[in-house]
Chain A
Amino acid sequence: MSDAYSRPVTGHVPVLRLGDVLLVTLQGDLHDSTAQQLQQDLAETTSRTGVRGVLIDISGVEIVDSFLGRVLAEIAAQAKLLAARTVVAGMRPAVAITLAELGLTLPGLTTALSTEAGMELLSQQSPAYRPGGRRQESP
C-alpha cells in the first residue's frame, strides 16, 4: 500500500572497504527506505568484493525499532549466506535497554562494544569470543 507514495529522499549510506571488511557508520534518524537501500547495497557489495566481514557502527543511532532491528538481522543473515560475518558495534545503553524491553534480543547478531572491538573480532580466524553466539548449536 505504501508503494503508492513516492518515496522521499532515498539516501545511500556510504559503505567503506577496509581490507577484508566492509565498514558502515549509521548516524541519527534513519528512513525506512534508507535502511532498506543499505541492506541491498551491502548484499551487492559483499558479493562483488568477496569480503569476509561486515562491520556496522551504530554508536550514532538514537533509536532502533523493530523495523531497523529486522533490517540488521537480515543483513547478518544474508552476509552469512555470502560467507561473511556481521558485527554490530557500539549500541548505546538506552537503545539496548529499549530493545530488551521490547523483547527484541536479536539472537543471530554478533555485537561488539566499539568499532575497534568489532574489527578485532572480525580479524580473528575462528571466533573465540562471541557474546550470545553460543546458541547456534542448541537443538
Chain B
Amino acid sequence: MPEHEADGQLATPTHEVRDFLHRRREQIAQRWADEPLFRTVFTVSRDEAVEASKVVVDALAQVADSEQVEDPDAAGFSGVREQLARMGAARSRAGLSNTQVASELAALRPPVENLLASDLEEAPPEHLRACSTTLTVLMGTLRLVAMQTALSEWQALSDRQRLQLMEVATPVIRLWDGVVAVPLIGTLDSARSQVVMETLLNAVVDQHARFAILDITGVPTVDSLVAQHLMKTVAAARLMGAQCIVSGIRPAIAQTIVHLGLDLDVITRASLADALGYALHELGADIVNPGAGQR
C-alpha cells in the first residue's frame, strides 16, 4: 500500500512525518473530529470540526517541514495559537480541569500514530520507530503550545479580574454634604491602597468634601505596610485641604498598632457613626436627639 520509494534511500523521519501529514490530512481530520476536544468545541456541524482539525494538521506539517518539531516557538504554530486558546477556554468553561484538557490533547496522538504505523507497515522497523518517535515529539510540542497559550490567557484574565475586583471593592459613599467615606473590606495590599487613595481623593474633589472617612472595620489585619498606606492617604488628603478620619479600629488592631510602635498621627474613631458625628460637629451641624429633651 505505501507508495513511497521501494527500496531507494529512505526520507528522514521528519520529512517522512511531514509527507504523511500532507497525504493523510483528510483521514486524520476525520478521526480528530470525533475526539471530544474537537467534537465538543465545534458543535455547529461535523464539517466544522473537520475543518478545524485540518488547520491543526497543516500547522503540524509546516512545523515538520521547518524541522522544528521540538520548538514550541516554531513559526508553524503561530497560526493555530488563537484556535488552540479558544478550544482550551471552551473546555475549561465546560468545567474541565487543566489536567483533563491536557489529557484530551494527549488523546489526539493514538489515532495519528495508528495511521502512521499502517502506512509504514512495509518499511524497515527502525525507520518506523524513528518516524513514530518524531511524531510523538511533534504531538508533545503541540500539547505544550496549547497549554502555554491557555496559561497566558488565564493570566491575562486573572489580571483583568483583579483590577475589576479592586474597583468594585472600593465604593466611595457620600454620607453628608461635605463628608465622604470608604468602607474598606478585605486585605489591603499596595496595589489596592493605590486604588483606594485615588478613588477617595477624586471623590474629595468631586464632592467638595472637607472630611473623608476611611473605615477599616472590614480589614482583617493592620501591619506596618497597611499603616503606611493609611498614613499616605491621610497626608495626601490633608495637602488637598480635607481631613481624614480613620474609623473602625478594633481592639485587636489597636493592640497591634501599639505593639508595632506605630504612631498614627491622625484622628481616629471607634466606629463609622462616631466618625460621622465628629465630622458633622466640625461642620457645625450637631445631631440632636429629639426624644432626649422630653424625658
* Contact B197 A97, beta carbon cutoff 8 Å: yes
- Once A and B bind, how many residue pairs between them come within 8 Å at the CB atom? 70
* Contact B201 A93, beta carbon cutoff 8 Å: yes
Contacting residue for B233 out of A100, A118, A135, CB 8 A: A100
* Contact B239 A100, beta carbon cutoff 8 Å: yes
What is the CA–CA distance of A92 and B198 in the complex, to the nearest angstrom?
A: 11
What is the CA–CA distance of A64 and B184 in the complex, to the nearest angstrom?
A: 29
Within the complex, what minimum Cβ distance (angstroms) separates A117 from chain B? 6
B270 at the interface (CB under 8 A from A): no
A111 neighbours in B (Cβ, 8 Å): 238-241
B237 neighbours in A (Cβ, 8 Å): 96, 131
A101 neighbours in B (Cβ, 8 Å): 232
Within the complex, what minimum Cβ distance (angstroms) separates B205 from chain A? 6
A97 neighbours in B (Cβ, 8 Å): 197-198, 201, 232, 236
Interface residues on A, range: 20 to 34
B129 neighbours in A (Cβ, 8 Å): none
B265 at the interface (CB under 8 A from A): yes
The interface centre, meaning the residue of A90, A101, A132 with most chain B CB atoms within 10 A of its CB, is A132
* Contact A100 B236, beta carbon cutoff 8 Å: yes
* Contact B241 A93, beta carbon cutoff 8 Å: no
* Contact B240 A93, beta carbon cutoff 8 Å: yes
* Contact A113 B202, beta carbon cutoff 8 Å: no
User: Among residues 207 to 251 in chain B, which have CB atoms less than 8 Å away from a CB atom of chain A?
Assistant: 208-210, 232-233, 235-243
What is the CA–CA distance of A92 and B236 in the complex, to the nearest angstrom?
A: 10
Within the complex, what minimum Cβ distance (angstroms) separates A47 from chain B? 27
* Contact A93 B235, beta carbon cutoff 8 Å: no
Within the complex, what minimum Cβ distance (angstroms) separates A108 from chain B? 12
User: Among residues 47 to 100 in chain B, which have CB atoms less than 8 Å away from a CB atom of chain A?
Assistant: none
A49 at the interface (CB under 8 A from B): no
Within the complex, what minimum Cβ distance (angstroms) separates B173 from chain A? 18
B179 at the interface (CB under 8 A from A): no
What is the CA–CA distance of A132 and B210 in the complex, to the nearest angstrom?
A: 12
What is the CA–CA distance of A132 and B235 in the complex, to the nearest angstrom?
A: 9
* Contact A113 B205, beta carbon cutoff 8 Å: yes
What is the CA–CA distance of A17 and B282 in the complex, to the nearest angstrom?
A: 30
Residue of A nearest to B207 (CB): A113
B204 at the interface (CB under 8 A from A): yes
* Contact B282 A129, beta carbon cutoff 8 Å: yes
A91 at the interface (CB under 8 A from B): yes
Residue of B nearest to A99 (CB): B239
20 contacts between A and B (CB under 8 A): A92-B205, A93-B202, A93-B236, A96-B201, A96-B236, A96-B239, A96-B240, A97-B201, A99-B239, A100-B232, A101-B232, A105-B235, A106-B239, A111-B240, A113-B204, A113-B210, A117-B210, A118-B241, A129-B282, A131-B241
